[in-house]
Amino acid sequence: MQLWKLQPINLTNPNWAASTYKNEIIVRAEDLSKAKELAAKAFGTAPHPQPGETTIINPWDNPGLVSTIQVQGTDDYTEDGDQEIVYPPEAVTLAHHGYNE
């Protein structure tokens, strides 16, 4: 597996209302697309816009809202294991409570 660091940018964008987590994460996944998908599933919400409001979409798969880079393993996380969010602990906990795969 590969490790990916996903870092939210432009947190003033209204689409961040569609995420329960808005900080840097490390994801172990087969590729970047899968890493973004895991983040979107783990932290995505379904806001209900009022009539006339712009539809808000999950920001984790938007390149204008998340910077990405492949990273190496550390003592806290390695490339070995299942596809999942591996760091930081608070993101891992939140993902495990809200993620339905």
- DSSP SS3 for 36: helix
Query: Each residue's pLDDT tens digit in the chain (101 positions)?
Result: 999 999 999 999 999 989 999 999 999 999 999 999 999 999 988 766 667 777 788 999 888 999 999 999 999 899 999 999 999 999 999 887 754 44
Predicted TM-score (pTM) of the model is 0.85
Q: Exposed (0-12), middle (13-18) or buried (19+): which is 69, by Cβ within 10 Å?
A: exposed
